[in-house]
């Protein structure tokens, strides 16, 4: 019986991984220009961390978590998202003592037990960023500018930014009651799940993906119409800054997000290219979260980008050129030995080099050089061993040049450098 990967968890193979590396590298560059440092936390955490932060009545905690007991009967959960672990670490390591503003980013696998389909997996990857310590709307705008800049840099511009405000503990309870009243008046039109959760988590009903629920709630009261003065002012400032910074956005008053810790500004980057998996990035403010997890009362804001969805959108658009390569084809024991030491020396010098290890014919070796798309080949036989020189062939234009084997590394560094920059 063949062992296969777990359903909904994918291998990322050579040929695809280059796109991943590009997306990750670009995030590192963009985020560090905005002053963010990377943080890495463990993949499993104590289950309690997610129940307390994401919320007991959310989809994630109710049905999507990979939770299990370890051999000492401690309940642990493979992280379904990155914000709670980062906050846990921020508090535990007292990172707030380092600076009054903390800017952190993370990158790695997340786990949710969902129905696997295009753009939705059980292990998926997120790149996320968090700013802790600033309540000012300038930071909301900054985070969005950074997110927008990232999408420009990776060449995905067919996304639109939707923003909303979810209010705060001052204004949300009043809105919540009003929403419950509204939902009660049309309970029979809601799906069974919404009928069950409309009291415990009425906002989730607005996020329900069932078509009849969407229709039944088209004229639901909007949070932004019930914001307190402070939240209203904060949201206007966010919109003003975005307009000033020329970041295009639309207000989506129905956007509620699936995690309980969000307050005030929330946002999503959506695309129409991925069917119902239309969000490629999402985030918002979580001002009470750090305190609720036992840390100081510091505000925070952040987002997470779903990498699989970006890879799907990039598709075949951009095949990153591989590093050019030298293939050494050798015939005869002496030449093979020389090829082997040359190859090792070149590799140590950072030059990608390949040879044959299986005693194949010259023809078969050249076939492999072609298949590997080698930029240069070098053929070594008895004659070359005697003269200490060999023909270095440029495979793209079939020109040849006699090179001295002893100075091959220098000759190649120059040539491969040219081939690389013109690739
Ligand atoms: P959705 O509404 O699509 O379920 P979400 O609101 O649950 O998304 P978040 O928790 O905000 O998503 O995560 C941020 C981003 O992570 C999403 O916008 C998406 O790009 C990605 N993402 C979330 N869940 C998955 C998944 N199961 N597989 C792949 N990507 C995912
Ligand atoms: Mg989800």
Among the bound ligands, the one closest to the CA of 162: 1
Residue 419 has pLDDT above 90, yes or no: no
- The answer for residues whose C-beta is within 8 angstroms of residue 272's C-beta and 6 or more apart is 158, 278
Residues ≥6 apart with Cβ < 8 Å to 179? 202, 203, 205, 206, 220, 221
- C-beta of residue 300 within 8 angstroms of C-beta of residue 132: yes
Cα–Cα distance measured from residue 205 to residue 212, given in angstroms and rounded to the nearest whole number? 11
Residue 423 has pLDDT above 50, yes or no: no
The pLDDT value given to residue 322: 63
Task: Answer whether 122's CB lies under 8 Å from 113's CB.
Answer: yes
CB 265 within 8 A of CB 163: yes
Give the mean pLDDT of 69-75.
Answer: 97
The neighbour count for residue 322, using CB atoms within 10 Å, is 15
Closest Cα to atom 11 of ligand 1: 282
Instruction: Give the chain's mean pLDDT.
Output: 93
Average pLDDT over residues 218-244: 96
Whole-number Å distance between alpha carbons of 383 and 331? 10
- Which stretches does DSSP call E strand in 138-252? 160-165, 250-251
**Which ligand gives the minimal distance to the CA of 119?**
1
Greater model confidence, 410 or 126: 126
Q: Is the CB of 121 under 6 A from ligand 1?
A: yes
Long-range contacts of 290-294 (CB under 8 A, 24+ apart): 290/87, 290/90, 290/91, 290/132, 292/52, 292/53, 292/261, 293/49, 293/52, 293/53, 293/84, 293/87, 293/88, 293/91, 294/91
Q: What is the C-alpha separation between 105 and 98, in angstroms, rounded? A: 16
pLDDT for residue 241: 97
- Taking each continuous run of H as one helix and of E as one strand, the counts in the chain are 16, 16
Note the pLDDT tens digit of each residue in 272-301: 888 888 999 999 999 999 999 999 999 999
Question: How many CA atoms does the CB half-sphere of 280 hold within 13 Å?
Answer: 25
Report pLDDT digits (tens) over 18-51. Answer: 999 999 999 999 999 999 999 999 999 999 999 9
Could you tell me which of 404, 422, 128, 130 has the C-alpha nearest to residue 285?
Answer: 130
pLDDT digits (tens, 9 = 90+) for 129-140: 999 999 999 999
| Span 74-125, pLDDT tens digits | 999 999 999 999 999 999 999 999 999 999 999 999 999 999 999 999 999 9
Q: What length does the chain have?
A: 423
Q: Do 126 and 82 contact (CB within 8 A), yes or no?
A: yes
| Residue 281: Cβ-neighbour burial (10 angstroms; 0-12, 13-18, 19+) | buried
Measured between alpha carbons, how far is 134 from 323 in angstroms, rounded to an integer?
Answer: 43
pLDDT tens, residue by residue, 193-220 = 999 989 998 998 998 889 999 999 999 9
Q: Evaluate: CB of 109 within 6 angstroms of ligand 1.
A: no
What pLDDT sits at residue 324? Answer: 75
Confidence (pLDDT) at 422: 43
Identify which has the larger pLDDT, 286 or 318.
Answer: 286
Give, for ligand 1, the residue of 279, 280, 286, 313 to mutate: max count of ligand atoms closer than 8 Å to Cβ: 279
Ligand nearest to the CA of 126: 1
Nearest ligand 1 atom to the CA of 209 is: 2
Q: Which is higher by pLDDT, 320 or 274?
A: 274
In the chain, the percentage of residues whose pLDDT exceeds 90 is 84
Q: Is 295 in the pocket of ligand 1 (CB under 6 A)?
A: no
Strand order from edge to edge, sheet including 123-132: 37-38, 102-111, 123-132, 300-306, 279-285, 263-270, 160-165, 250-251
pLDDT per position as a tens digit, 377-414: 999 999 999 999 999 999 989 999 999 999 988 888 77
Pairing state between β 326-330 and 353-355: parallel
* Neighbouring C-beta atoms of residue 224, cutoff 10 Å: 18
Does the structure show a pLDDT above 70 at 374? yes
């Amino acid at each position: 019986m063949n062992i296969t990967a777990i359903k909904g968890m994918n291998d990322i193979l050579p040929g695809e991984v280059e796109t991943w590396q590009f997306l990750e590298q670009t995030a590192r560059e963009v985020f560090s220009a905005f002053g963010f440092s990377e943080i890495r936390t463990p993949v499993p955490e104590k289950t309690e961390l997610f129940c307390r932060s994401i919320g007991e009545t959310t989809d994630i905690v109710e049905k999507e978590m990979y939770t299990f007991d370890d051999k000492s009967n401690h309940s642990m959960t493979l992280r379904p998202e990155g914000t709670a672990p980062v906050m846990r670490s921020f508090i535990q390591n007292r990172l707030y003592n380092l600076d009054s503003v903390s800017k952190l980013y993370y990158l790695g696998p997340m786990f949710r037990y969902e129905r696997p389909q295009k753009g939705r997996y059980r292990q998926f990857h997120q790149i996320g960023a968090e700013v802790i310590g600033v309540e000012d709307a300038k930071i909301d705008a900054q985070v969005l500018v950074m997110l927008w800049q990232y999408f420009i840099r990776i060449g995905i511009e067919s996304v639109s930014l939707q923003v909303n405000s979810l209010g705060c503990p001052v204004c949300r309870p009043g809105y919540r009651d009003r929403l419950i009243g509204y939902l009660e008046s049309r309970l029979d039109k809601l799906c069974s799940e919404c009928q069950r959760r409309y009291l415990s988590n009425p906002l989730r009903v607005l996020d329900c993906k069932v078509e009849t629920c969407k229709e039944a709630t088209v004229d639901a009261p909007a949070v932004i119409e019930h914001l307190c003065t402070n939240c209203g002012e904060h949201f206007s400032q966010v919109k003003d800054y975005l307009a000033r910074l020329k970041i295009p956005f639309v207000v989506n008053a129905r956007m509620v997000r699936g995690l309980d810790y969000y307050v005030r500004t929330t946002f999503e980057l959506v695309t129409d290219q991925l069917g119902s998996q239309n969000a490629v990035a999402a985030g918002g403010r979580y001002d009470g979260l750090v305190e609720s997890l036992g840390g100081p009362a510091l505000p925070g804001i952040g987002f997470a980008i779903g990498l699989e969805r970006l890879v799907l959108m990039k598709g075949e658009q951009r095949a990153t050129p591989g590093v050019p390569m030298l293939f050494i084809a050798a015939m005869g024991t002496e030449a093979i030995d020389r090829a082997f030491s040359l190859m090792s020396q070149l590799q140590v010098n950072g030059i990608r080099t390949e040879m044959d290890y299986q005693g194949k014919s010259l023809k078969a070796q050249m076939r492999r050089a072609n298949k590997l798309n080698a930029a240069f080949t070098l053929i070594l036989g008895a004659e070359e061993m005697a003269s200490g020189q060999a023909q270095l062939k440029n495979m793209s234009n079939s020109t040849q040049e006699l090179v001295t084997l002893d100075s091959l590394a220098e000759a190649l560094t120059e040539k491969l450098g040219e081939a690389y920059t013109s690739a």
